[in-house]
Chain A
């Protein structure tokens, strides 16, 4: 019976290919949408640390880039009790987040740069300098995946190369890793350079790392010090907000993928229907010679399953190979598409279920009617 199942697939290679293509398209679209959602969510999720609190300009809690905090808040923030200290230095990181255009070897690229002081290393313990050193004046340090976000080759951003920012030349002096965070695609520059080049008298935010203090302590500080005009938000809450900002986009991505996948699915259903319908008499003959309908349905399911599994395996292999090459630069977020074990497992389950679903209607239509009607049709 397996030969029969297999030969039916080989008999009409064009039809089998058409079915395979429909299934492949469905799986690819679903993998793409789920990968987009998963990769975006995890990039924002990993970016946050439950020990970190951000002080932003009051009223601009939704965006680090738009926030403005007066520099006098830096010293005040250091006085909050219970902030983590390292060698008498409070883990307080004043920062400027700035979207600008940089020049790399004559090529202009839009980039997110962060002006920081060395103290940032105490605030972000996940960050590790892999090569070189923290930037001093006239120098920059790059996240290990900054080349991806900029669409350049890694060799174009190696240590010793220079970049032009606000007509000033900066030398690349280090690279850092901060696994799973957006920082890995950023360019870090000395805070004072940033202030003078952008002619700002304010900074974007102050990130604090808590030790004994709770978020409520920092929140209370922000509410009591009205003169500073700051608001406290936990890093987790901030990135959760950013994430929710992208929810409509994720929803649209899913909707688009599902609409196209539905089209492909209906195309596949139609082809499956026609494929089985054309064998209606053949299936009736098999019943006439003694095959039970359940066995014939299983054989049809076997055909459908083989095509779905082949399409699924091809889709997964393509996704594993091609997705990591897709870098998405989306506002303040940046991520590469990836495939997780959960997606692989659910994809397999979906293939098994879809193979069954597409065969129900044609199977019923061919196997349910009275045998004499089908044979004498």
Chain B
């Protein structure tokens, strides 16, 4: 039985827009277990990206507790969160966000530069990540020389290279054609089943959500349903 990786206890997020208070997340409780593939769905402005950012340590909750492997990360300072992210999380963006001046290999290598390790070990890890993402044959290509699906594979390899327990993905197939999207979703799914990674994915697409073990629906910052998918 896999243990709980993330536990959200009554987390809320409040923004001030002028004098108006905006609450994209309101008293949300959630548990995510190790190795789970979780999809977050909901209409625009429902708070799913805010939740994703908080889970990824990119944003902090205004209220409530967020435990990651039993460690409370809701009160960490920005610098501490950055270090925490480097060790425990990886982010996959809809538009890949690869560094255009670096090759696929160098893009994948980037996160390792925040870790202390030999160049030999770095090389080994980068090659392994590129293999896992099935993009090793494009290692020397620059992002502009790759298709959208290939760029997203490089982004996945970059997410895998530090071997983080959590991978968050913000509409990773939103900019891809159907064939590439299916391939990427299959790859994400395999990360959970084969490598026991926890993947949290925001999507608008029910077909993409169907690949997840569980889909949560958010509306106005509140979790309205959440159930395990029967078939995918």
Question: Is there an interface contact between B97 and A282, defined as CB atoms closer than 8 Å?
Answer: yes
Residues of A contacting B49 with CB < 8 Å? 376
Q: With A371-B59, A372-B59 in contact, do A291 and B93 touch (Cβ < 8 Å)?
A: no
| Bound complex: CA A246 to CA B86 (Å) | 62
Output the nearest chain B residue to A281 by Cβ-Cβ distance.
B97
Residues of A contacting B86 with CB < 8 Å? 289-291
Question: Is there an interface contact between A285 and B58, defined as CB atoms closer than 8 Å?
Answer: no
Question: Is there an interface contact between A288 and B58, defined as CB atoms closer than 8 Å?
Answer: yes
Q: With A4-B99, A288-B91, A292-B79 in contact, do A375 and B110 touch (Cβ < 8 Å)?
A: no
Q: With both chains docked as a complex, state the minimum distance between the C-beta of B201 and any C-beta of chain A, in angstroms.
A: 16
Do most interface residues of chain A lie in helix, strand or loop, or is the interface mixed?
Answer: helix
Output the nearest chain A residue to B115 by Cβ-Cβ distance.
A290
Question: Is there an interface contact between B90 and A8, defined as CB atoms closer than 8 Å?
Answer: no
Does A286 interact with chain B (Cβ within 8 Å)?
yes
Bin the interface of chain B by size.
20 to 34
Residue in B82, B101, B162 whose CB lies within 8 Å of A10? B101
Does B114 interact with chain A (Cβ within 8 Å)?
yes
Residue in A10, A285, A371, A376 whose CB lies within 8 Å of B99? A285
Q: Which of A65-104 contact B (CB under 8 A)?
A: none
| Bound complex: CA A376 to CA B99 (Å) | 17
| Bound complex: CA A371 to CA B50 (Å) | 12
Residues of B contacting A10 with CB < 8 Å? 101
| Bound complex: CA A287 to CA B57 (Å) | 11
Q: With both chains docked as a complex, state the minimum distance between the C-beta of A367 and any C-beta of chain B, in angstroms.
A: 10
Residues of A contacting B65 with CB < 8 Å? none
Do most interface residues of chain B lie in helix, strand or loop, or is the interface mixed?
Answer: helix
Residue in B59, B83, B87, B106 whose CB lies within 8 Å of A3? B106
Q: With both chains docked as a complex, state the minimum distance between the C-beta of B85 and any C-beta of chain A, in angstroms.
A: 5
Q: Which of B172-231 contact A (CB under 8 A)?
A: none
Q: With A285-B93, A376-B49 in contact, do A290 and B99 touch (Cβ < 8 Å)?
A: no
Question: Is there an interface contact between A285 and B106, defined as CB atoms closer than 8 Å?
Answer: no
| Bound complex: CA A282 to CA B114 (Å) | 16
Question: Is there an interface contact between A4 and B82, defined as CB atoms closer than 8 Å?
Answer: no
Question: Is there an interface contact between B58 and A286, defined as CB atoms closer than 8 Å?
Answer: no
Does B113 interact with chain A (Cβ within 8 Å)?
yes
Does A370 interact with chain B (Cβ within 8 Å)?
yes
| Bound complex: CA A317 to CA B91 (Å) | 48
Chain B positions 101 through 136: 1 when the CB is less than 8 Å from some CB of chain A, otherwise 0: 110001000110110000000000000000000000
Question: Is there an interface contact between A285 and B97, defined as CB atoms closer than 8 Å?
Answer: yes
Q: With A289-B90, A289-B110, A290-B85 in contact, do A4 and B58 touch (Cβ < 8 Å)?
A: no
Question: Is there an interface contact between A292 and B101, defined as CB atoms closer than 8 Å?
Answer: no
By Cβ-Cβ distance, the 3 closest A-B pairs, closest first, are A290-B86, A7-B101, A285-B97
B residues with CB within 8 A of A: 49-50, 53, 56, 58-59, 78-79, 82-83, 85-87, 90-91, 93, 97, 99-102, 106, 110-111, 113-114, 158, 162
> Told that A1-B113, A290-B85, A372-B58 touch, could you supply 18 new A-B pairs with CB distance under 8 A?
A4-B99, A4-B106, A10-B101, A11-B100, A282-B97, A282-B100, A285-B93, A288-B56, A288-B85, A289-B91, A289-B111, A290-B87, A291-B113, A292-B114, A371-B58, A372-B53, A375-B53, A376-B49
A-B contact pairs, 29 of them (CB 8 A): A1-B113, A3-B106, A4-B99, A4-B106, A7-B102, A11-B100, A11-B101, A282-B99, A285-B97, A286-B99, A287-B82, A288-B56, A288-B97, A289-B85, A289-B110, A290-B82, A290-B85, A290-B86, A290-B87, A291-B110, A291-B113, A291-B114, A292-B83, A293-B79, A372-B58, A372-B59, A375-B58, A375-B93, A376-B49
